[in-house]
Amino acid sequence: MKLIKRNVLLNPGPATTTDSVKYAQVVPDICPREKEFGDLMEYVSLALTKIVAKPKLYTTVLFGGSGTAVVESVLSSVIPQDKTVLIVNNGAYGKRMCQIVQSYGINYIEFKSSSIKPIDLKKLKKTISKTPSISHLAVVHNETTTGLLNSLHDLGKIAKKFKLAFIVDAMSSYAAIPINMKEQNIDYLCASSNKNIQGMAGIGFVIANKKSIEQSKDLKERNFYLNLYAQYRNFLDSHQMRFTPPVQTLYSLKQAIIECNEEGIENRYKRYSKSWEKLTCELKKMNLKYLVDDEYHSKIITSIFIPEHINFNDMHDYFFNKGFTIYPGKVEKFNTFRVANIGEINVDDIKLFCKLLKKYITK
C-alpha cells in the first residue's frame, strides 16, 4: 500500500484518517441496488447503532448528506404540526437548529444559554413547564464552536420528567465521548461519517429509538428527500437507500468502524483527551487563554484567544505549509481560533504543533 501524504487536520472534521480508510474506497464498481451493497449498509447501520444503543430497540437511518442534513431530517420529520420543540441555543449549532425549524415554519422556543457556561437547568425546567405544547427537546451535545459539553445525563432526565422526545446533535461527540441512548433517554441522535468515527465525508446518520420513529409514521409530511420515516421504512422494505448513496464513502465508513471497534470508544476518548491535556497544558505555559473552563470542556475542540499581534489568516498559512490545518473561531464576540484534537492524530502531533505555535507567537 503506497503511503498517502499525511496532513494533521486540527479542524473539527473532516478529520485525519488512516490510509486503510482512504484505500477502502477503492473497490470494484457496484450498483448500490445489489444485495451485496444492501448488506454493507446493514452492517454499517448495525455497527453505528451498537456504539450507543442496543439494536433491538434502536436503529440507524443512513442518508447521503452532511451532518446538517440529518439534523434537518429529524427536526422536519418528527415534530407534529400542533406541537413545539424547545431548542437549547448555546452556540452556532444550537442556533442552526433554530434556523432549520424557522425555514419549515415549525413551532419552537429558543432557550438561549451562555456559550461558555453550563445550562441553567432550573430555568430550563421553568420554561418547559410554562408551555404545555412542548413535545420535543433538542440540544447539541458538544458545542463545536467552543468545546462546551452539555450534560446529556441532566438534559435526558428533564426530557423524561416532562415526557419530551429528546433530540441530540452529537456530531462532534459521537464515537469519542461515551453515550448511552437508553440511560440518557435519547430518542434521536444525529452524527456523521467524518468526525470521531474517522471516516470520509458524505454520510449523515440518525440513530433512533424504533418506537419513536414508528410514531412519526402518520405525521403530515413537510419534506421529501430528508423524510426520516420514509428513509427508515424504505431500507426495511427494500434493503436499499431511497436515493443514490455515496457508494465508496460507505465502504470507507465500514473500514473506519472496524478500526474504531479495534481501538474501542473509551480508548479513543483517552487518546483524544491525552492530546487535549497536552494542548491546554502548553497553552497555559504560553499564556494563551481559551474559552471554556476545563470542568465543562469536551476535550475535543478548543477555542483559543488570538493574541493581538497575530493575524489568523497568516497564522493559518504558516501552519498549513507545515502540514497542520487550524480553524477560525465562530463565536462573534471573541477573537479566537480553534484546534480540534480528533481523528487519527496523537499527542506527538500536538507536541509538535505547540512547539511551532510557541515559535510563531513569539517571533
* Distance between CA atoms of residues 362 and 360, nearest Å: 6
Cβ proximity to ligand PLP, 92 vs 286, nearer residue: 92
Packing angle of the helix pair 67-77, 92-104 (nearest 10 deg)? 50
Q: How far is the CB of 353 from ligand PLP (least distance, A)?
A: 20
Q: How far is the CB of 250 from ligand PLP (least distance, A)?
A: 16
Q: How far is the CB of 143 from ligand PLP (least distance, A)?
A: 7
Q: Which amino acid is at 363?
A: K
C-alpha cell of residue 196: 470521531
Cβ proximity to ligand PLP, 193 vs 216, nearer residue: 193
Which ranges of 177-263 does DSSP label H, i.e. alpha helix? 210-215, 228-238, 247-263
Phi, psi of 302 (to 5 degrees): -125, 130
Cβ proximity to ligand PLP, 168 vs 354, nearer residue: 168
Task: Please give the residue ranges that form the binding site for ligand PLP (CB under 6 A).
Answer: 12-13, 66-68, 71, 93, 140, 144, 169, 171-172, 192
Residue nearest to ligand PLP (CB): 67
Cβ proximity to ligand PLP, 280 vs 298, nearer residue: 298
Overall residue count recorded for the chain in this entry: 363
- Nearest CA to 266 out of 274, 256, 277 is that of 274
Cβ proximity to ligand PLP, 181 vs 354, nearer residue: 181
Phi, psi of 143 (to 5 degrees): -70, 105
- Nearest CA to 96 out of 151, 154, 138 is that of 138
* Distance between CA atoms of residues 188 and 78, nearest Å: 10
Q: How far is the CB of 67 from ligand PLP (least distance, A)?
A: 3
Q: How far is the CB of 359 from ligand PLP (least distance, A)?
A: 29
